[in-house]
Amino acid sequence: MPLTLAVALALLGAPVLWALLRWRAALAGLAWLLPAALFVVFATRWAPVRDSGAVVEVWPWIPSLGISLALRADGLSLLFALLITGIGTFIFLYAARYLHGHADLARFFARLTLFMGAMLGAVLADDLIALLVFWELTSLASFLLIGFTPEQAASRRSAQQGLLITVGGGLALLAGVVLLGQATGTLRVSELLAMGSLAELPAAPWIIVLVALGAFAKSAQVPLHAWLPNAMVAPTPVSAFLHSATMVKLGVYLLARLNPAFGEHALWTGLLLTAGLATMLTGALLSLRETDLKRVLAYSTVVSLGTLVTLIALPHPLAASALVAFLIVHALYKACLFMVAGIVDHEAGTRDSTQLRGLARRMPLTAGIALLAGLSMAGLPPFVGFVAKELVYEAQLTATASWLPVAIAIAANAVMVAVAGVVTVRTFWGPLRPTPQTPHDPPLALWLGPALLAALGLVLGLAPGLAGALVASAASAVAGHATGATLSLWHGLTPMLALSALTFALGLAILRGWDRLHRVLVAREAIRRHGPDAAYDRAMNGLARLATWQTQRIQSGSLRRYVGATLAVVGLALGATLFTQGALAWPSLAGAASLHALLPALLVLAALAVVRAEGFVRGIVAAGMVGFGLALVFLFHGAPDLAFTQFSVEAVAIVVLLAVVARMPFATPDRRPAGQRRRDALIAIGFAAVATLVLLSVLATPFDARLSDFFRAASVPEAHGRNLVNVIIVDFRALDTLGEITVLALAALAAAAVLAGTRRRAADRAEDTE
């Protein structure tokens, strides 16, 4: 199956699932077949990708701008596609049972499927514009999923926060993409990577900063991370799918994809390394303040995202293999643990870690699944988490001479060991505590997915070579060249093993002192008052105050002020452009002294009459004189059709305006003070002077006959008409003409409504007097 068809099926699955589940909600139990089928499709693409390096499909989209719908599957994008559809299969199966009986089940699955399709399009896109389209679609789908329960204020706020931060980052990314396209002449990712290093581009610093902002917002890097923990208000299937295994890694994917192009730039390395390390520390610290199992896991995801960004910044080839291995490991155990947290909440009625103990007595199967995933998260052998942690430490030790990244990694990973202990050991072992509901192991549909993911973590740990080829292919795409790293469970007695043992020991110490650390950090109100989440609220409140102030200053309710401000700004901008760009010119006045010169004088006299008019009626008549004078200009300069149109429009306009004004309670005298009159006169004279200079400069420009020649040559063969004006209006400017007709029709309807309203009021007054 072509890649394009697979992405199209994922996107079209959203309305199809919505219709099917609206018809029969029981079909939700079969929704997992869609991502499972897509997983099989992408799995079959592995052999061509392995043999040729990449599979590319290109469809014309906007050829005039060099934009195409290009999809490309290489090791990295195929890995993401397999994670999206593979974990998506378990999420769909889990969600059908978790939300069983929910009134909006059809809406939920439609949004979840839309998100899956958008993610597939984003990771497979080989054109940056197409990637941006899918990128923003993931933000929209995430907004809809986080805000799945809009009746709850927390859901609305979290959905809005996630949308504003990720879309704001998307705007920065758009600017970076535009700069990148202008600097290189292409928007195809494969062509950009084929150019080699782009670090020497003059615009490289701007491109790096803008692309990094977009990726940091999507992948929750400090200080743009607050939306991720807050998104835990969404249903657990959303948390497990969007915010552990897929969407939050989209920014990491983009950074990894562009790393071969900008990896040699010092700004790229410094920016990613700083953001990654700061994110690791911040996520680890804030996870200690939480008691909600999902929020604890969310902050551990922030730590993991910081780790991935840090690995991208490291120049050593081993870092790419560590990145890919850790990405797979994190997706497996984090999706599993999120679903376990949902099971606990679903069966026990709470996910507050302070109220949960000893659930293994009532939920032995769930406890076993959680323990397997927790051991992988803690990085203990023989689980694949241990393999990935060894690679991470080895990459950090060999890629940098500083111990700071290694020290931060040890501290952050120690907290992750403690988090794994809180979610698995403290929740399921120890004395049983009473819960709002009597817990028990869930039905098959809820535990099957987590069980398979947890078992896969053990299988890949015992036989890491099963994923070796996929990891090597993806790592080569990240590094920009072939990497020789292999996955192995045992490397001997190495410094990395010592660091792993140290990490585990520190993690146990943190787990033992978890309650005390939690109390100390919760007591620090400064974290809550001055953290990024509070900064977001202050920014939103400040934006509202700014909008209020701006509205009060600009929206005064005076049409005269609106027109005056508009003319003043336009006049100043045009005048500044004329003088600064050297565009001011003076045309030849040869032949200007003729009878036609009387027409401008007539227009000036009519304009003076408008200005001197003491009432609306006189002003309308004088304005009509200006319009008729302009029609005479058209008539004497070889445009009789325009002249007759102008005559007709002016006649109708005068009649309509007089009919309206006669029924409106306008104050006849002009009550403007002298100062306001002088200001208005200055604006009018200044704008008229600038407009005159613009027209004179245009007349001084040599006439370019290319457009006229085109219309003259194309009117008969293409439009089958000899009247050039009619052909231009009806054929070549058809949409423009349709727009003008629409505007005139709306104006006529508005005038008719005004006249009808005045007649009704007059009739009502007549009845009252009788």
> Picking from 324-328, 546-550, 733-737, which range would have the lowest pLDDT averaged per residue?
733-737
Q: What secondary structure does DSSP assign to 51-93, as a single string?
A: HHS-EEEEEEEEGGGTEEEEEEE-HHHHHHHHHHHHHHHHHHH
Task: Dump pLDDT digits (tens) for 22-54.
Answer: 888 888 889 999 999 999 999 998 888 888 888
Task: Dump pLDDT digits (tens) for 387-426.
Answer: 888 888 888 887 665 788 888 989 999 999 999 999 998 8
SS3 125: strand
CA angle 336, 337, 339 (to 5 degrees): 70
Q: Rounded distance, CA 302 to CA 312, Å?
A: 16
Q: Rounded distance, CA 358 to CA 356, Å?
A: 7
Q: Rounded distance, CA 499 to CA 109, Å?
A: 44
pLDDT for 343? 93
> Picking from 79-93, 222-236, 589-603, which range would have the lowest pLDDT averaged per residue?
589-603
Average pLDDT over the chain, rounded to an integer: 86
Task: Dump pLDDT digits (tens) for 128-149.
Answer: 999 999 999 999 999 999 998 8
pLDDT for 28? 87
CB 127 within 8 A of CB 189: yes
Q: Which residues are CB-contacts of 212 (< 8 A; sequence separation ≥ 6)?
A: 255, 268, 271, 272, 275
pLDDT for 770? 58
pLDDT for 267? 93
Cα–Cα distances (Å) from 409 to 216, 307, 320, 523, in that order, read: 19, 8, 17, 26
pLDDT for 370? 93
- Sort 4 into a burial class: Cβ within 10 Å, 0-12 / 13-18 / 19+: middle
Of 523, 499, 502, 532, whose CA–CA distance to 288 is shortest? Answer: 523
| Positive or negative torsion for Cα 547, 553, 554, 556 | positive
pLDDT for 702? 82
CB 209 within 8 A of CB 182: no
Q: What secondary structure does DSSP assign to 573-588, as a single string?
A: HHHHHHHHTT------
Of 190, 457, 157, whose CA–CA distance to 334 is shortest? Answer: 457
SS3 188: strand
Task: Dump pLDDT digits (tens) for 334-372.
Answer: 999 999 999 999 888 888 888 888 898 899 999 999 999
Selection from 386-390, 446-450, 739-743 with the highest mean pLDDT: 446-450
Whole-number percent of the chain with pLDDT over 90: 35
pLDDT for 758? 66
Question: Is the pLDDT score of 234 beyond 70?
Answer: yes
Element at 408 (helix H, strand E): helix 404-420
Q: State both tokens at 426.
A: 């403290």
CB 333 within 8 A of CB 352: no
pLDDT band at 668 (very low <50, low <70, confident <90, very high): low
Mean pLDDT within 90-100: 92
Cα–Cα distances (Å) from 558 to 554, 562, 569, 611, in that order, read: 10, 6, 17, 19
**Which residue has better confidence, 742 or 530?**
742
Element at 399 (helix H, strand E): helix 384-399
Q: Rounded distance, CA 169 to CA 184, Å?
A: 22
CB 358 within 8 A of CB 443: no
Mean pLDDT within 212-227: 91
Q: Which residue has the tokens 């988090």?
A: 419
Of 472, 121, 501, whose CA–CA distance to 323 is shortest? Answer: 472
Q: Is the peptide bond before 382 cis (omega within 30 degrees of 0)?
A: yes
CB 247 within 8 A of CB 138: yes
pLDDT band at 736 (very low <50, low <70, confident <90, very high): confident
Question: Is the pLDDT score of 434 beyond 80?
Answer: yes
Task: Dump pLDDT digits (tens) for 621-649.
Answer: 888 888 888 888 888 777 777 788 788 88
Cα–Cα distances (Å) from 121 to 55, 177, 191, in that order, read: 14, 17, 19
Question: Is the pLDDT score of 669 beyond 70?
Answer: no
> Which amino acid is residue 599, in one-letter code?
L
Q: Rounded distance, CA 141 to CA 364, Å?
A: 36
Question: Is the pLDDT score of 656 beyond 80?
Answer: no
Element at 596 (helix H, strand E): none
End-to-end CA, the chain: 81
Element at 507 (helix H, strand E): helix 495-512
Question: Is the pLDDT score of 194 beyond 80?
Answer: yes
pLDDT for 766? 62
Q: How many other CB atoms are there within 10 angstroms of residue 463's CB atom?
A: 14
**Chain-centre distance of CA 587, in angstroms?**
50
